[in-house]
Copies of this chain bind each other. A is one copy, B any other.
Amino acid sequence: MTKLDTKTQLLNIAETALRQRGFDGFSNADLADVAGIRKASIHYHFPTKADLSVALMDRYCNTVQGACDDIDASHASAGARLRALIGYYRASLGDGSTICLCVALSTSRESLSQELVGKMIGFRQIMIGWLKVTFEQGAGDGSIEGGTQAGYEAKAMLALLEGAHLAARDDRDIRQFDAAVALLLLRCKR
């Protein structure tokens, strides 16, 4: 485990901060404290807060896309894939405080750049696309119970996952997440 370069370190700290407290809820001072550098030094790596946020969202999209690919590669049935994605969202809650980056940014939508809002919409499209394909496969192989309208299933499920994150975070209790997705898990037959 080599030591991370400062830029990556800042991205990691910022991602956690943003997902815990929102775009308007963390400052360069917070990042500097954790990173152990002065806040002015942050501008060397990311000239503005907007630049940092765009970089964060780019990395997040890639990470989640990669997670979806991994899930596809390591699970045979659509039902197992859906279960795995639910597990991924569950794990990303961490100690119950880190909601999805896209959700954390949503509240501050009005003060964000068009570029960033575009990336947030792009993130949802990635997720909905993957979910739609998975629901279609689940209807085909019989591993996911329920309707055949995969497009609506996908949008409903993403909304449910994001809402489940919020409920769990407010309560600081991951069981709220589990309760919200319980029926969805029951639909995954194998």
Which A residues are within 8 Å of any B CB, using their own CB? Answer: 20-22, 24-25, 97, 99, 102-104, 106-111, 117, 120-121, 124, 147, 149, 151-153, 155-156, 158-164, 166-167, 169-171, 176, 179-184
The 5 closest A-B pairs by CB, nearest first: A159-B163, A24-B24, A163-B163, A22-B107, A107-B107
In the bound complex, do residue A170 and residue B25 qualify as a contact, i.e. CB atoms below 8 Å apart?
no
Cα of A46 to Cα of B107 in the assembled complex, Å: 24
Q: Is the interface of A mostly helix, strand, loop or mixed?
A: helix
Complex partner residue of A179 from B117, B121, B155, CB under 8 angstroms: B155
- A156-B181, A163-B163, A183-B152 known; A110+B124 contact, CB < 8 A: no
Residues on B with beta carbons closer than 8 Å to the beta carbon of A99: 106-107
- Smallest CB–CB gap between A100 and chain B, Å? 10
Residues on B with beta carbons closer than 8 Å to the beta carbon of A107: 21-22, 25, 99, 103-104, 106-108
- A155-B180, A181-B156, A183-B153 known; A108+B163 contact, CB < 8 A: no
Complex partner residue of A108 from B22, B117, B121, CB under 8 angstroms: B22
Cα of A176 to Cα of B106 in the assembled complex, Å: 14
- A24-B24, A121-B171, A170-B117 known; A179+B163 contact, CB < 8 A: no
